[in-house]
Structure 1
Amino acid sequence: MAGSRRRRWRAALTGALAGSLVVVVGACGVVDTKDDRRAAEELAEKHFPGQLKAIEARTLFPGSGGSEVTFAVTDDRDAMVRLRVDTDAADGRMCDRKECAGVLAEAVQRGRQQAEDFRTLRGAFDACGYEVVALGTTGTSPYVVAELTNATVAKVLGEIGECVQRWTTASGADSALAKAQASYVNVVSPSVADRRDRGKDTWPTVMRLTRTNLLASLNKHAYVSASYEIEAGRVDTAGRARVVRPFREREKFGETVQNAVKEQLRATYPRVVMSTYQWIWRLEPGRVDRQTGYVLFCPEPGARGQCVNPDDAALVTTDGRGNPVGKIRLVHDVREGTGALRLPPY
């Protein structure tokens, strides 16, 4: 009897849970993009007949209603157009909460200009032998492929700097690039590039090279980010480089440096507390196995034994794993009160 009662209780509970699930699913409804995509296609055909082809739609969820529809441009293999449309908006069909025709016209103009800018970038890098395999989400900060070693790093960074100069010159004196203070190029190894998420060849080039899946497949490995200062359209082609690490690798590197520096500082500051803040680690010129950066510390523990608003720093050079090599240089009074850091350049 007891076993029978338990079976009936379990069956009742299962039925109740299943009923609850049906209610929840029914209340939430099914989220899809069909209506928004259809509306976007109708809008495109009305205002740009035969020029746009919808290739993808994704739900803008949560936080904003509607969908983002991506179009290919039929006469431009590189260009893409993205339109956010909401057919369920309370005040009628809207695009980014504005009237759709104007938003679409701006999106088409922007998409064509992005494609033109990309071709300028690609042409500059192709001319000096570096293929652009990805772009930052804004369409800048290109990713190129090179094997960096102590023997090649200075040469490669210099060649990429020449690419940036070509790109800057080709973009024109009035371009945002020529007026910028610096440009950044990311360098990934051939082995990482070979395993990247390439997407579909049928997608517009700008769409394919800015996809989050592609960038994630590259950024899950350490890579080098090279910066090139620009002044009045002239690029410092030597460049400076830093290593960008995935989160876990970055945390491990930081812990190694901080623990090693702490041990050395204890001779002078027995109660020293390290800050967990991670500064930029720049590659030493001509080296990929040496990098230099700051570690912040407090000679005495602050509130709750922590290092709060540190005013002291150690400049340290490490190997690729974070083990210090050479002498540590201490720098004091590096913060304006409790505000911004003012660390000397290195």
Structure 2
Amino acid sequence: MNGSSGARRFGAGPTGALMCAVALVLGGCGVLSTKQDRRFAETLADEHYPGTLEVIEAHKLFPQASGSEVSFSVAGDPDAVVRIRVDAEAGTCNTHPCRQALDDAVERGRSEAARLRILIRTFRSCGHEVIGVDPSSGAPWIVASPTNATVTRVLGDIGSCVRRWAEADARIGGTARARGASVNIASPAVARRRPAARTSRPTAMRLSETRLLAALQSRPYFVASYSASHGRIDTGGSARIVQPFESRQRFAATVRAAVRDQLRVSHPNVRVSEFQGVWRLEPGTVDRLTGYVLYCERSDGGKRCLGDRAVVVTTDVRGEPVGPVREAGKVREGRGPLRLPPL
């Protein structure tokens, strides 16, 4: 017992943190503390929810010096996952008394599972299987391959489904969709290559696994966004493309170079800003993007160009403009806040 608590104290102070970092390389104190937290969580579950909660995994909280996040499955609910932060050394859960924290976590896990079932059932009834869920926004991932000829219809179909989802979610107390919603759309090819689901895990955990979401985001994908008015979803929607980091950097570099060449005709000393805003798809297309490029008419000594003027540019998916840039005028005073007009 003394050795275990000593190991926890060893990792708490500044010197201990340094030594613990060395120990981690050798498989030391971080693993030990996580094992202690897992055992602590198992004891809590056995005491307060006997036969109901079973620990699935525990992982170290970073950059905190102590504590772990522990995930439980729930007997009788294959969709629910209960997550709680525990610190065995302090005897607390997320710095609070553990009984109340565990009760709150169980209630939250069951509520989220009920809402997840509504999401899955609603989209399935619309002909879309939910293959992933963003854990921060709650946005579902579905599979589709819109084209210029079909994108308007596809957005409308998905929008009708989103409205039904929002209405069903509201009936059990959900409020987030009243402000609007978004849906991530993976291509069939990317969906086929996603990692196999770990069927032993709760649905809520499977659909938000890091490796799954990383695979879905590894190639360009569409995001369909739907606004809401007075709590009712507008089914029309709009779409944008999200690209992996390297592709996004290539796109931005191509756009900046092309805009610089066009602007140099009237502004020989032009400097183009590295600002990267949101590029939206032109209505009725999946291969025409419109966004802003900021620039400075001339160099300001050695200062970096933030961009006090802007042009509107429409490009192909590689970043090559498909027409002349359109001047948007002054969008910033000096190095003050940016004020871009709506596209």
TM-score, normalisation: structure 1: 0.88
How far does residue 336 in structure 1 lie from its aligned partner after superposition?
5.5
Measured in 2, the distance between the counterparts of 1:209 and 1:139 equals 13
Contact 1:336 1:342 in 2 (8 A): no
How far does residue 197 in structure 1 lie from its aligned partner after superposition?
2.5
**Could you tell which deviates more after superposition, 189-198 or 55-64?**
55-64
Superposed CA deviations along residues 292-343 of structure 1, whole A, max 9, x for unmatched, are: 11111111112415313x2211101000100000121011121366333222
Q: Any idea what SS the aligned residue of 2:92 has?
A: coil
The answer as to 2:322 corresponding to 1:325 is yes
Contact 1:139 1:206 in 2 (8 A): no
Change (3 A) 1:179 1:27: closer
Change (3 A) 1:297 1:98: same
Change (3 A) 1:26 1:285: closer
The answer as to 2:63 corresponding to 1:62 is yes
Question: Which residue number in structure 2 is paired with residue 239 of structure 1?
Answer: 237
Measured in 2, the distance between the counterparts of 1:189 and 1:59 equals 34
Superposed CA deviations along residues 44-86 of structure 1, whole A, max 9, x for unmatched, are: 1111111111111112233241221110011111000011111
How far does residue 25 in structure 1 lie from its aligned partner after superposition?
4.1
The answer as to 2:341 corresponding to 1:344 is yes
Question: Which residue number in structure 1 is paired with residue 292 of structure 2?
Answer: 294
Question: Which residue number in structure 2 is paired with residue 49 of structure 1?
Answer: 50
Q: Which stretches of structure 1, 4 residues or longer, exceed 6 Å deviation after superposition?
A: none
Measured in 1, the distance between the counterparts of 2:94 and 2:253 equals 44
Equivalence map 1:22-37=2 (5 Å) = 25=23, 29-32=28-31, 33-37=34-38
Contact 1:133 1:209 in 2 (8 A): yes
Contact 2:163 2:232 in 1 (8 A): yes
For structure 1, which runs of at least 5 residues remain unmatched after alignment? Answer: 1-20
**Could you tell which deviates more after superposition, 281-290 or 166-175?**
166-175
Measured in 2, the distance between the counterparts of 1:151 and 1:62 equals 49
Between structure 1 and structure 2, the one with the greater Rg is 1
Question: Which residue number in structure 1 is paired with residue 13 of structure 2?
Answer: none
How far does residue 216 in structure 1 lie from its aligned partner after superposition?
1.0
| Identical positions, percent | 48
Superposed CA deviations along residues 182-215 of structure 1, whole A, max 9, x for unmatched, are: 2111111011111112431110001111122211
Change (3 A) 1:132 1:99: same
Question: Which residue number in structure 1 is paired with residue 11 of structure 2?
Answer: none
Q: Any idea what SS the aligned residue of 1:109 has?
A: helix
Measured in 2, the distance between the counterparts of 1:100 and 1:26 equals 28
Equivalence map 1:48-127=2 (5 Å) = 48-89=49-90, 93-127=91-125
TM-score, normalisation: structure 2: 0.88
Q: Any idea what SS the aligned residue of 1:79 has?
A: strand
Contact 1:184 1:227 in 2 (8 A): yes
**Could you tell which deviates more after superposition, 201-210 or 149-158?**
149-158
Measured in 1, the distance between the counterparts of 2:177 and 2:62 equals 37
Question: Which residue number in structure 2 is paired with residue 12 of structure 1?
Answer: none
Measured in 2, the distance between the counterparts of 1:139 and 1:312 equals 33
The answer as to 2:228 corresponding to 1:230 is yes
How far does residue 257 in structure 1 lie from its aligned partner after superposition?
0.3
Change (3 A) 1:26 1:261: closer
Change (3 A) 1:210 1:335: same
The code of the aligned residue for 1:66 comes to G
Task: Identify which of 137, 140, 143 aligns with 1:142.
Answer: 140
Contact 1:85 1:95 in 2 (8 A): yes
How far does residue 30 in structure 1 lie from its aligned partner after superposition?
3.6
RMSD of equivalent CA atoms = 2.0
How far does residue 139 in structure 1 lie from its aligned partner after superposition?
5.9
Contact 1:139 1:210 in 2 (8 A): no
Contact 2:178 2:233 in 1 (8 A): no
Contact 2:146 2:154 in 1 (8 A): yes
Measured in 2, the distance between the counterparts of 1:305 and 1:315 equals 24
The code of the aligned residue for 1:40 comes to A
**Could you tell which deviates more after superposition, 183-192 or 329-338?**
329-338
Equivalence map 1:257-268=2 (5 Å) = 257-268=255-266
